């Protein structure tokens, strides 16, 4: 791993820990669990779907790709005792992934 890549990994970790809304538990559909995942929750994320002229609003959560490298529809995210189901991917820049939840 290059020096720049290591620096970016550290920077992303610090940003996620500092700016997150808290820590969640990510449960894969196969039963594998990842605890202590920093997240940002947005209960009114604006999306434009292909063919729609008006935006719709969905619930979204952003998690670091380094902690949750694989995901699929049906995975669960537990935040303060509330369980959210992963519905789809909204954005993924390789460092952070924003998922539609319901």
Per-residue pLDDT tens, the chain, 102 aa: give them.
788 878 877 877 777 677 789 999 999 999 999 999 999 999 999 998 888 888 999 999 999 998 999 999 999 999 999 999 999 999 999 889 999 999
Here the CATH number for the domain that contains residue 11 is 2.40.10
- The structure's pTM equals 0.83
Q: Which domain holds residue 73?
A: 3-101
CA distances for 98 relative to 4, 6, 45, 62, 89, angstroms: 24, 23, 10, 4, 6
What is the domain count for the chain? 1
Are residues 60 and 98 in contact, defined by beta-carbon separation less than 8 angstroms?
yes
């Amino acid at each position: 791993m290059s020096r720049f890549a290591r620096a970016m990994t550290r920077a992303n970790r610090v940003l996620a820990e500092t700016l997150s809304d808290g820590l969640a538990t990510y449960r894969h559909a196969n039963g594998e669990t990842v605890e202590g995942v920093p997240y940002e929750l947005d209960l009114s994320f604006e999306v434009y779907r292909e063919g729609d002229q008006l935006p719709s609003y969905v619930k979204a959560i952003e998690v670091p790709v380094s902690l949750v490298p694989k995901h699929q529809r049906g995975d669960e995210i537990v935040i303060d005792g509330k369980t959210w189901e992963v519905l789809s991917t909204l954005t993924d820049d390789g460092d952070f992934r924003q998922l539609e939840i319901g």
